[in-house]
Amino acid sequence: IRIVPINSVDAAFLDRLAACLEERFLAGASVEPALTVPRSSLNATRGQLFVATLTSKVQRAHPESDAVLLAITDFDLYKTSHRFVFGDADEAQNITVVSIYRLRSEFYGEPGDANLLFQRTLKECIHELGHAFGLKHCYNARCAMYYSNSIFETDNKMPHFCDICDRRLSRARNER
């Protein structure tokens, strides 16, 4: 797992995230140099970044990667069929992205909480990396693979997979 910060993301935050992801996926995780994405890349009308735009920029910056890439951004993200997304995964390209924009307490008018931001980010990273490793959405609302339509659903999830998804991940690893 190669973590690619987009613009400026706190290094200590990313190092802590890498350590947690190594533990969850039993795979090495490293933090790459930051990739600069200018604000001019945002959709001027929406003030958001189209996920596919970010995915293609990460792909161009890391064309020879054999690891799963995890881009972490502070830009608000959207897809064609969604007003916003916390993250996304492109299994074919082995690229996942997570936005911390709507994971921040301040977005909801609450005081900043660094630990809550980290927990939310970890859950969304585990979710998107789960997709990269072949998992689909889960019906268990506590599982990291449950689809979050809102921050409340993200907060309700565990930062790991349910037993069923964990077994699916183990089978997928054995097939690789």
* Residues carrying an active site annotation: 128
Give buried/exposed letters for 74-111 (b at 16+ CB in 10 A, else e).
ebbbbeeeeeebbbbbbeebbbbbbbbbbbbeeeeeee
Please identify which residue in the block is written with the tokens 């933090």.
Answer: 31
Please identify which residue in the block is written with the tokens 């970044």.
Answer: 49
Residues 33, 39, 41, 46, CA torsion sign: positive
In whole angstroms, how far apart are CA 150 and each of 40, 87, 171?
A: 27, 12, 30
